[in-house]
Structure formats: structure tokens, C-alpha cells
Amino acid sequence: MRVHIKVNQVQRDCEVESRALLSDLLRDNLRLTGTHRGCDTAQCGACTVHLDGVAVKSCQVLAVQADGSDVVTIEGLAGADGQLHPMQQAFSECHALQCGFCTPGMVMSGVDLLRTHPRPDTATIREALEGNLCRCTGYVNIVEAIRVCADRMAAKGV
Amino acid sequence: MYAFEYERATDQKHAVKKFESYDAPRYLAGGQTLLASMKMRLAQPDALIDLGRVASLKEMNVDPAGISLGAMVSHSTIAQSHEVQQTAPWLSDLAKGIGDRMVRHRGTLGGSLANSDPAADWPAAALALEATIVTDRREIAATDFFQGMFMTALEPSELIVAVRFPQARRAAYAKFRNPASRYAVVGVFVAELQHGVRVAVTGAGPCVFRVPEMEQALVQSFQPSSIEGLHPLFGDLNNDMHASAEYRAHLISVFARRAITSAIHRA
């Protein structure tokens, strides 16, 4: 089936099977391998992307369901000049990654949280990360990075 | 996941017509349960009829007499709706506690009810609030809707269009989550309606059920102390690796009291 989809501001046209997942389309058709397949059962959140403005687990959405939609992946967060998104910057500075496998999903969830809660407290951040697992268990610095990013973005008024 | 035909419904009639043209189709709402079941081959439909673009299933109508929510309204939309928060905060609170943030963005009210998972949250609200399930062909009272594990009164091609929740005087939902899966081991929805009290329990039986002895006690006095020592007979409750039937009976009593307390404090 044909899927017309905007990914990271670029219009794409892909041929997929009806059973292909959005994560399959991103990784296999478009080679955007920053979206990680962790569990493929919607537990771990490593495949989190933004679909029409909200965070979803791309392993739990069919590619054909996303036809006509606007998708942002981890590759689409940084500026065209390579400048990191403030969330990526904060993750780097706060050492919010160890093995890095969960990181794309954590960053996408963090950005989505600040959309609805620009100044989240620790409990809100932890609740928002319910669907993202870090098997290195490095949650403390991940929570800290999201808080630091929120403070910075609020200070800059973005 | 096995291959299947994919059909994108444009409106309700089109959805039903497409459904009826296959042998073993399923409607696809948010897909947060169905797609996972298909990956595990617990469900093997020959076609999915995607309801994602049917605008009439996403309508919301909030007025003082009650709330009507379209079948395809997401948990997240219900959780974030100021109107729902103002009129029936017990609904937005319940929605806020389903799954996780990403699952709530996709998962829908109608999908949850149609699936009637023994541990789903929405059936408890529907039964306790005496909701009406509006389909493409009739209206079904929640009392008649839930018939067993993954079983409802829906006919094969029948499509949930909306759910009407009448206004309650006060109500609240409290649940005990499985520490790993986060599904309700036991969830209790308590509602004080104009004409009585309803206590609906999810997670503890093959499908959602009421606890009449608690309801009668609460009509006398809507206080946690009224139901002290009352719980359903545990012979009928789920007994599995997550919790024994006896433990579930205990949890029903504890979480019913918590729900009553939060209903009182919110009102």
C-alpha cells in the first residue's frame, strides 16, 4: 500500500505492507534508525515519535494509519545547522544516558511533556516517563535533564 | 503479525459495510490492544477496518445533565478536557490513569469498552455511572453491555458510536496497579447517582461487576466506614499469579473505601 507521510519536514512516499508498523516504515523504508525497536510490544517506549504533534509508540501504530500525517523522529529535533534541541543538549550535559538505547524515546517523551507541562515537577516528569524504560536504570539523570531543559526553555520564553 | 486487508472507513455506514464484506474482520480504533494481540497472534483478523478518519466518532458533548463522548475520543483528550474536568472530574481522573502517556494519546474509550478486557478501566465507569452505549443501530444500557471475559452485547458488525454518561452527584475511581504491567489488579468505581449508589469492580472477575451489598450500605450512609467488612465472595474472583482471589477481595474493600473518600473530598 502507498503511504504519503511527512517525516521531519520532508514529504515521503513509501510502499508498505498493510501489517507494517510505523516503526518499520521509519527504520526500514526511510533508514531513520534513531527510532529504536526495543520490545516491539509497546512496553519500553524506545520507539517513541511524534505523530501529528503528540508522542506515540511507533511500534503500536500501523504505517498505513499514519498516511497523510506529520511525523517527527529523533533525527528531526536538531536544527538544520546541527544545533541540538535543548532537550538533547540537557541530556548530554546531565549525563542522562548510559548505553543510549532508550535515549531517543526518552528525549521524544521529554519534549512531548513540556508541550503540555512547561514547568513540570519531579513527580510529573516521573509519571510522564511511565511508558519509557531505561534498563541501565539511569532515571535520576533523565528526570534531571528534563527539568533542566524545562527551566532553560522557560527562562528563554520558548 | 499475519497479513490482513486494510480498509480505511470514511464514515460510519462505510465502516459497517466494509466490515460485513469480510469473514473475520475487526474494527481498528486506537490499536493499543488490538495490534499487540495481533502480534502475539491472539487475534488474527482477515481485515482491519480503520475508524481513525471517521469524524462523527470523535464528537464530545458536555452539558450539566451528562456527557456524551464519541467512541474514538482518546483517553488523553478526555483527561485534558477542561469541560470534562469541570463537569465530571471522575472521568478525566480515570482517563489520566490509563496505561502511559503515549498509549493514552492513541487508545480510545470505544475501543476499551468494545474489548471488555477483564482489567480495563472504562467498563467500571460505564457500569457504575449507568452509561448508555450508543451504537450504529441501537442504545445499550451498560448493565446489559458487559457479558463476560472479552464478551459484550455487540453484534459482529455493530459499531459503538458514542457513550453517554449521566451526571452523578459525586463519584471516584481508585485502582491497584500491577507493579509491572500497570493494569488494574483491582479497580473500583463508586458513584452516587440521583437514585442510588453504584459500586463497580474491574480487574477482579471475568468482566466488570457490581457489589450490591456495598451499594445498599452506602445508600444509608455514603462513608468509607459503611462498607467495613463487606466484600464480594472470593469464590467468584480471579485467582492468578498476580493476586489470589482472597487478596483481590481484600483489595476491593480497600479501594472501594479509597474511592468513597476521594468522592467525598472532591464534592
Q: Which CATH number fits domain A2-76: 3.40.50.300, 3.30.9.10, 3.10.20.30, 3.30.930.10?
A: 3.10.20.30
ipTM associated with this complex = 0.96
With beta carbons less than 8 A apart as the criterion, state whether A49 and A31 touch: no
Q: Do A42 and B103 touch (CB under 8 A)?
A: yes
Q: Which pLDDT band holds residue A156 (cuts at 50, 70, 90)?
A: confident
Q: How many angstroms separate the CA of residue B89 from the nearest CA in chain A?
A: 19
Q: Among B66, B36, B85, B86, which residue's Cα sits nearest to residue B194? A: B66
Q: How many angstroms separate the CA of residue A45 from the nearest CA in chain B?
A: 8
Q: Which CATH number fits domain B5-166: 3.40.50.300, 2.60.40.1220, 3.30.465.10, 3.30.70.2860?
A: 3.30.465.10
DSSP per residue, B184-251: EEEEEEEEEETTEEEEEEESSSSS-EE-HHHHHHHHH--SGGGGTT----GGGS--SSS--HHHHHHH
Residue B127 DSSP one-character state = H
pLDDT at B236 (0 to 100): 84
Q: Among B53, B42, B6, B9, which residue's Cα sits nearest to residue B25? A: B6
Residue A89 zone, left/alpha/beta (φ > 0; ψ -120 to 50; rest): alpha
pLDDT in tens, A15-33: 999 999 999 999 999 999 9
**Averaged pLDDT, A3-12:** 98
Pairwise CA distance, residues B13 & B107, whole Å: 22
Q: Do A18 and B182 touch (CB under 8 A)?
A: no
Q: Do B102 and A131 touch (CB under 8 A)?
A: yes
- Fold of domain B170-266: Enolase-like; domain 1 (3.30.390)
pLDDT at B267 (0 to 100): 67
Domain residue extents for chain A: 2-76, 86-156
Q: Do A130 and B105 touch (CB under 8 A)?
A: no
- Fold of domain A86-156: DNA polymerase; domain 1 (1.10.150)
pLDDT at A153 (0 to 100): 93
Cell of B233: 465472595
Which residues from chain B sit within 8 angstroms of residue A40, using beta carbons? 39
- Which residues of chain B have a pLDDT value below 70? 267
Which residues from chain B sit within 8 angstroms of residue A18, using beta carbons? 3-6, 48
pLDDT in tens, B32-88: 999 999 999 999 999 999 999 999 999 999 988 899 999 999 999 999 999 999 999
> Can you state the angle between helices A139-156 and A103-116, rounded to 10 degrees?
40
The backbone torsions φ and ψ at residue B84, rounded to the nearest 5 degrees and listed phi first, read: -65, -40
Mutation for testing the A interface, residue in B81, B101, B104, B183 having most A CBs under 10 Å: B101
Q: Do A40 and B39 touch (CB under 8 A)?
A: yes
3-state secondary structure (DSSP) of residue B27: strand
Pairwise CA distance, residues B100 & A130, whole Å: 6
Q: How many angstroms separate the CA of residue A84 from the nearest CA in chain B?
A: 24
With beta carbons less than 8 A apart as the criterion, state whether B107 and B72 touch: no
